[in-house]
Amino acid sequence: MAFMKRTGGRNKLAAVMVIAAGLMVTGGGYAVATTVAKTTQSAEYSQAQVDEGKKLFLANCASCHGKNAEGTAAAPSLIGVGAASVDFQVGTGRMPGQLSGPQMFKKDVQFTNEQIDALAAYVASLAPGPAVPTDEAVATNGNTTRGGELFRINCAMCHNAVGAGGALTEGKFAPSLKGVDPKHIYEAMATGPQNMPVFNDANLTPQDKKDIISYLKFVENNPSAGGYELANLGPVVEGLFAWVFALGGIIAITIWLGAKSN
């Protein structure tokens, strides 16, 4: 129904669209489902959700973000950050923040999915912003090769070539992307949480984002061909392993070779 309401409300060809929709339903519900899913945005929120979200916001968020989400010295304005930002920050447990510091940590999620949706509905009602992606937009059936190239150009400098994460300045870090919900990866790219830059749809198109997510899930779900990953942290860990175990083994063998038998 959301599909018809949105299209019909704005478009002079509403009647034609309704007939077309009717034909498509008779032709098969599947076709309609695919057409709707092609958009990257989820359905609109109801007024009840917005009202519920406002109550939750005043009780849990307003002390830092201000009563009208206008921001305070302690926290930024949330006007225009969009539903995707709320869904990411609250859905991964980063918000509400437990203490102020260089970086907000991921922790146990504090709200139910319904409450998160309500909060997202409220923040989205303040001003337009990135919406929560549909399931189709974050499906992992994209082009992993292309996703890998885009990931290495745009993301790997902070998040490591296979998404194992890495250090930034002054205690901040780019978190590991292993085990992160594809929806949250998409939302992080669209909204640029904390110190991460924004990758809007002009920079990384929805297809680009889908390919990147597909690549990340591919490397996460496939074993490394090169043997043990050692947490994928790169040359420091690998070098340390070689120095301690390989060189240690060589020294042990050398001592044994030179020792006399009992």
Partner 1 sequence: MSNQGKSAAKGGAEHTYEGGLAVIPADAIKDPGLEPHRVRMTDKSPKHERAAVRQVASLFVLSFLGSAFSIYAYFAFPITDDLGSVRSNTLFLGLGITLGLMGIGIGAVHWAKTLMPDAEVSEERHQARSSEADRARALEIIKLADEESGFSRRKLIRRSLYTALAAFPIPAIFFFADLGKDQTNNLRHTMWKAGTRLVKDPTGTPIKASDVTVGSVFHVVPDGLVELEEHMLEEKAKAAVLLVRLDPADLKEDPAKASWSYDGIVAYSKICTHVGCPVALYEQHTHHLLCPCHQSTFDVTEHCKVVFGPASRPLPQLPIAVDSEGYLVAQSDFNEPVGPSFWER
The contact pattern for partner 1, residues 17-56, with x = CB under 8 A and - = no contact, is ----------------------------------------
**Binders in 58-97 for partner 1, by CB under 8 A:** none
Q: Is residue 196 classed as helix, strand or coil in its secondary structure?
A: coil
The residue with tokens 């034609």 is 16
Give 174's strand partners: 166
CB of 145 to partner 1, least distance (A): 12
Among 26, 226, 236, 255, binds partner 1 (CB under 8 A): 226
Cα distance between residue 176 and residue 217, in whole Å? 12
Cα distance between residue 222 and residue 163, in whole Å? 13
Task: Say how many Å lie between the first and final Cα of the chain, rounded.
Answer: 88
**Binders in 92-151 for partner 1, by CB under 8 A:** 149-150
Q: Does 230 bind partner 1 (CB under 8 A)?
A: no
Size of the site for partner 1 (CB under 8 A): 33
| 196 CB-side CA count, 13 A | 27
Q: Does 249 bind partner 1 (CB under 8 A)?
A: no
CB of 201 to partner 1, least distance (A): 9
CB of 225 to partner 1, least distance (A): 4
Residue 133: other Cβ atoms inside 10 A: 27
Give 173's strand partners: 167
Q: Does 197 bind partner 1 (CB under 8 A)?
A: yes
CB of 217 to partner 1, least distance (A): 14
Among 47, 100, 112, 169, binds partner 1 (CB under 8 A): 169
DSSP 174: E
Q: Is residue 168 classed as helix, strand or coil in its secondary structure?
A: coil
Output the six-digit token pair for 105.
Answer: 């940590």
Please report, as a single letter, which amino acid is at residue 19: I
Please report, as a single letter, which amino acid is at residue 123: V
Among 47, 73, 100, 260, binds partner 1 (CB under 8 A): 260
Cα distance between residue 166 and residue 156, in whole Å? 9
Among 99, 225, 236, 255, binds partner 1 (CB under 8 A): 225
Q: With contact defined as beta carbons under 8 Å apart, do 200 and 209 qualify?
A: no
CB of 203 to partner 1, least distance (A): 6
Q: With contact defined as beta carbons under 8 Å apart, do 65 and 75 qualify?
A: yes
CB of 121 to partner 1, least distance (A): 23
Among 33, 203, 240, 246, binds partner 1 (CB under 8 A): 203
CB of 183 to partner 1, least distance (A): 21
Residues that bind partner 1 (CB under 8 A): 149-150, 153-154, 157-158, 166, 168-170, 172, 174, 192, 194-200, 202-203, 222-227, 256-257, 260-262
